[in-house]
């Protein structure tokens, strides 16, 4: 089988027109790629330089550099695609190339374009174009193409210029990597921005803010002064400046204090919002640092639950946000504290380091479960995850009080410090205990004899917390005689299982006197009151004289002169003081009557004398007569009145008259009482003589009958 013969015209067309057009296409693509590469190189170098300047000046963080690299990569890929790959991917047809050649060579009269068109079969309909004509046109085109420079359509000078510029850019990019002055700079840029290493830029001075993480961030307690310290390496600058700013628009520049050659420090105001800053000095300009305020851990709410001991019968107490707790010994305490943030550690301790049992129920809630709390002052110590400790400390003052003995009171009604053997006393008692009584009694004791208990009956259930009442005590039932002493007191016990606790009243100490001695003591007290009343009468006489003289000098009517009014006021106050003294004497006499009645030595006649003729008149004088006299003086103090002034002498005379009448009643039976006292003394002495006589006769009789051998013998006379 023989090969098909090749048409000589077709071969010549390929060699003289189509092959040169293919070479032109390839070279055109090279020139297009060269232009795109130049643009790409320019963009890469320019953006890399910008990256270097930004990182060198602002000390970008690792995440910032990574983000910048991603942006640059996408930017470079976009330039590569738009300026290199996309133009190269576009098709360049032989027709377009042939048209370009024809435009450069007008003498061809579009023969190259026609030949390309006919070679592609675009010769029109067979009726209008004969094959002989097509071959003639192709043959003429091949002849015309001989010696034609197809590459004249390309701008070779521009391509050379682009190549030179591209080589210059590439050389300029690699030159800093080779020169010693810039080698470290470029190496640092490459390592920081493309190898993502955290290496410092080469410079004479390095500064680093102390306490900030690798991202240049640090937390500072809210409201604390912002203290910034910097470590310096390399050459020490003459001054270190801090430039700070915040989101609210505040900004400033301060000079930091240098401590030695390696440390700079400054304290700004309390921090309330994030503060950004940089440090500059010599050729150092640090990265951007930020200090962010965070709250210290703090207790925001507390709830104390106190469960008293079971025997008290008291319900639990819930105390919200109360830090002073008074607990009964044996109580159970539970404190729940809510925090403003999670904490790492928490304690409730006192000054001596003793800690309460505490657990973190949640990261932001504490629970203190304390079965037997110890007294003292306790404070919460908190530390959060960042290591910040609380400053606004919640302090608990825990007071643990023991179950005190019951409160016991015993009082003898209408009794002084002495009674007679036949006295009948009324005793008032009161027992109180916050948590319940189990026993109540009162005790009596004669001299040093064993006490005698007197049970007041059951107190009821343990929930009974108080009891009040009265009881009677007859001295003769003890019994107690004249010359002896009596002690009376009350006792009560509570229901504390650890006790019980016993409370005692203050004892009542009584002297037992014979009726005669008791009456003599009462007479002595009455005598003291009478002498006080006599002095008061004397003073009232002097007061009356002063009042009458002053009233006599007053004008008949109109406002009372100032000096006179002042003196009248003073006299009125003296009159009121006399009334108070009269009432005090009245109460003293009433006390004597009550004690005599209690000791059963009050005779009816004496009771009538004291009550009707002394106590009642004294009450009228001190409660009515003297206050009316003082009121009359007060009226005259405000305004002179001849009618009221005329009443003054009579009122004062009536006061004196009534006082003297009472004094007469006090003196009426004094002689009688003295005679009675003398008779009682004689009787007492006669009793003693009688006893001595009986004893002497007994001894003589015993001697007569021989019972007393030591007695002298006597012989009867014959």
Residue 308 has pLDDT above 60, yes or no: yes
Does residue 386 contact residue 291 with C-beta atoms inside 8 Å? Answer: no
| pLDDT score of 330 more than 70 | yes
The CATH H-level (homologous superfamily) assignment of domain 203-294 is: Immunoglobulins (2.60.40.10)
pLDDT attached to residue 676: 52
pLDDT value of residue 320: 92
What's the mean per-residue pLDDT of the chain? Answer: 85
pLDDT digits (tens, 9 = 90+) for 439-489: 889 999 999 999 998 888 655 444 578 888 899 999 988 888 999 999 999
Question: pLDDT band for position 641 (50/70/90)?
Answer: confident
For residues 678 and 588, which has the higher predicted lDDT (pLDDT)? 588
Position 117 pLDDT exceeds 50:
yes
pLDDT of residue 127: 54
User: What is the average pLDDT across 242-269?
Assistant: 91
- Cα angle 356, 357, 363 (rounded to 5 degrees) comes to 110
Does residue 71 register a pLDDT over 80? Answer: yes
Instruction: Write the pLDDT tens digit of every residue in 348-370.
Output: 998 888 888 888 878 888 999 99
Lowest mean pLDDT among 97-106, 229-238, 310-319, 424-433: 97-106
Question: 129 pLDDT band (50/70/90 cuts)?
Answer: low
Architecture of domain 407-513: Sandwich (2.60)
In this predicted model, what pLDDT tens digit does every residue of 493-516 receive, in sequence order? 888 887 788 999 999 999 999 999
> In the predicted model, is pLDDT for residue 19 greater than 90?
no
Q: What is the pLDDT of residues 400-449, one digit of tens each?
A: 988 888 899 999 999 999 999 999 999 999 999 888 888 889 999 999 99
Order across the sheet with 332-339: list the strands. Answer: 317-320, 299-307, 332-339, 365-370, 358-362
CB 626 within 8 A of CB 654: no
Instruction: Please check whether residue 205 is in contact with residue 282, taking contact to mean a CB–CB distance below 8 angstroms.
Output: yes
**pLDDT at site 582:** 94
What class, spelled out in words, does domain 299-401 have in CATH? mainly beta
The mean per-residue pLDDT over the stretch 638-659 comes to: 88
Q: pLDDT: is 672 or 137 the higher one?
A: 137
Distance separating alpha carbons of residues 316 and 313, to the nearest angstrom: 10
If pLDDT is split at 50, 70 and 90, which confidence band does 712 have? Answer: very low
Closest CA to 153 of 42, 7, 31, 6: 31
- The percent of residues above 70 in pLDDT, for the chain, comes to 90
- Which of 6-10, 309-313, 530-534 is the least confident region? 6-10
Confidence of residue 564 (pLDDT cuts 50, 70, 90): confident
Q: Does residue 675 carry a pLDDT above 60?
A: no
Query: Is pLDDT of 50 > 50?
Result: yes
Q: How far is the C-alpha of 638 from the C-alpha of 93, rounded, in Å?
A: 136
Q: Answer yes or no: is pLDDT of 149 > 90.
A: no
d(CA 309, CA 459): 21
pLDDT at 73 over 50: yes
Pairing between β-strand 251-255 and β-strand 263-270 as defined by DSSP bridges: unpaired
Evaluate if residue 4 carries a pLDDT over 60.
Answer: no
pTM for this structure? Answer: 0.53
According to the model, what pLDDT value does residue 100 have?
83
Residue matched to tokens 């690299």: 69
Non-local CB neighbours of 217 within 8 Å, separated by 6+ positions: 289, 290, 291, 292
| Predicted confidence band of residue 391 (pLDDT cuts 50, 70, 90) | confident
Q: How far is CA 492 from CA 461, 470, 471, 487, in A?
A: 14, 15, 15, 17
pLDDT at position 318 is 93
Name which of 503, 498, 497, 499 is nearest 466 in CA terms: 503
pLDDT of 232: 92
As a whole number of angstroms, the distance between CA 172 and CA 41 comes to 11
The region of weakest confidence among 119-123, 257-261, 663-667 is 119-123
The percentage of residues in the chain with a pLDDT greater than 90, rounded to a whole number, is 36
Look at residue 619 and tell me whether its pLDDT is greater than 90. Answer: yes
Domain 516-668 falls in which CATH fold? 1.20.120
Residue 264: per-residue pLDDT: 94
**How far is residue 615's CA from residue 588's CA, in Å, rounded to a whole number?**
9
CB 113 within 8 A of CB 102: yes
Query: Which of the listed ranges 192-201, 296-305, 642-651 does the model predict with the highest average pLDDT?
Result: 296-305
Give the model's confidence band at 715: pLDDT under 50 very low, under 70 low, under 90 confident, else very high: very low
Q: What is the mean pLDDT of residues 101-129?
A: 73
């Amino acid at each position: 089988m023989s090969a098909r013969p090749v048409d000589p015209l077709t071969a010549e067309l390929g060699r003289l027109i189509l092959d040169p057009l293919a070479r032109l296409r390839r070279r055109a693509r090279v020139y297009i790629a060269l232009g795109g590469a130049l643009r790409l190189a320019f963009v890469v170098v320019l953006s890399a330089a910008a990256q270097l300047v930004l990182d060198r000046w602002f000390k970008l963080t690792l995440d910032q550099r990574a983000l910048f690299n991603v942006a640059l990569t996408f930017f470079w890929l976009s330039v590569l695609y738009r300026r290199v790959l996309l133009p190269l991917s576009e098709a360049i047809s032989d027709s377009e190339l042939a048209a370009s050649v024809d435009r450069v060579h007008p003498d061809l009269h579009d023969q190259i374009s026609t030949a390309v068109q006919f070679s592609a079969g675009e010769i029109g309909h067979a009726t209008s174009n004969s094959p002989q004509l097509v071959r003639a046109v192709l043959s003429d085109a091949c002849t015309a193409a001989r010696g034609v420079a197809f590459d004249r359509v390309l701008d070779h000078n521009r391509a050379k210029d682009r190549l030179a510029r591209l080589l210059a850019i590439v050389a300029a990019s690699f030159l800093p990597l080779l020169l010693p002055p810039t080698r470290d700079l470029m190496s640092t840029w490459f390592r920081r921005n493309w190898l993502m290493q955290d290496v410092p830029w080469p410079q004479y001075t390095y500064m680093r803010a102390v306490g900030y993480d690798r991202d240049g961030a640090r937390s500072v307690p809210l409201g604390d002064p912002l203290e910034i310290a910097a470590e310096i390496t390399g050459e020490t600058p003459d001054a270190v400046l801090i430039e700070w700013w915040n989101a609210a628009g505040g900004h400033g520049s301060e000079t930091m204090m240098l401590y030695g050659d390696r440390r700079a420090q400054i304290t700004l105001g309390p921090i309330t919002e994030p503060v950004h800053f940089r440090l500059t000095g010599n050729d150092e300009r640090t990265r951007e640092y930020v200090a962010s305020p965070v709250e210290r851990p703090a207790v925001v709410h507390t709830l104390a639950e106190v469960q008293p001991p079971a025997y008290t019968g008291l319900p639990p107490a819930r105390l919200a946000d109360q830090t002073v707790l008074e607990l009964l010994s044996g109580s159970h305490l539970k404190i729940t504290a809510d925090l403003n943030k999670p904490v790492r550690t928490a304690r409730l301790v006192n000054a001596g380091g003793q800690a309460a049992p505490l657990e973190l129920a949640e990261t932001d809630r504490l629970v203190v479960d304390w079965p037997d709390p110890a007294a003292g002052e306790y404070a919460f110590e908190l530390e959060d995850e960042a290591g910040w400790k609380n400053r606004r400390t919640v302090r608990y003052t825990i007071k643990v009080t023991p179950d005190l003995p019951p409160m016991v009171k015993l009082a003898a009604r209408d009794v002084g410090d002495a009674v007679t053997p036949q006295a009948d006393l009324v005793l008032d008692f009161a027992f109180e205990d916050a948590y319940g009584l189990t026993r109540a009694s009162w005790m009596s004791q004669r001299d040093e004899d064993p006490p005698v208990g007197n049970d007041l009956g059951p107190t009821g259930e343990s929930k009974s917390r108080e009891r009040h009442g009265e009881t009677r005590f007859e001295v003769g039932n003890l019994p107690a005689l004249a010359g002896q002493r009596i002690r009376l007191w009350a006792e009560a016990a509570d229901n504390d299982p650890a006790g019980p606790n016993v409370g005692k009243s203050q004892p009542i100490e009584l002297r037992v006197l014979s009726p005669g001695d008791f009456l003599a003591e009462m007479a002595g007290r009455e005598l003291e009151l009478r002498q006080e009343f006599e002095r008061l009468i004397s003073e009232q006489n002097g007061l009356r004289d002063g009042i009458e003289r002053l009233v006599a000098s007053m004008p008949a009517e109109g406002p009372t002169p100032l000096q006179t009014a002042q003196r009248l006021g003073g006299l009125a106050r003296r009159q009121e003081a006399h009334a108070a003294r009269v009432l005090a004497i009245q109460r003293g006499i009433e006390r004597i009557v009550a004690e005599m009645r209690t000791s059963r030595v009050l005779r009816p006649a004496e009771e009538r004398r004291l009550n009707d003729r002394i106590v009642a008149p004294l009450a009228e004088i001190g409660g009515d007569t003297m206050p009316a006299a003082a009121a009359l003086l007060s009226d005259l103090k405000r305004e002179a009145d001849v009618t009221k002034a005329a009443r003054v002498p009579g009122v004062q005379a009536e006061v004196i008259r009534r006082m003297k009448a009472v004094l007469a009643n006090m003196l009426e039976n004094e002689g009688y009482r003295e005679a009675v006292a003398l008779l009682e003394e004689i009787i007492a002495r006669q009793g003693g003589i009688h006893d001595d006589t009986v004893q002497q006769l007994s001894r003589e009789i015993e001697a007569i009958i021989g019972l007393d051998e030591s007695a002298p013998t006597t012989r009867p006379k014959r």
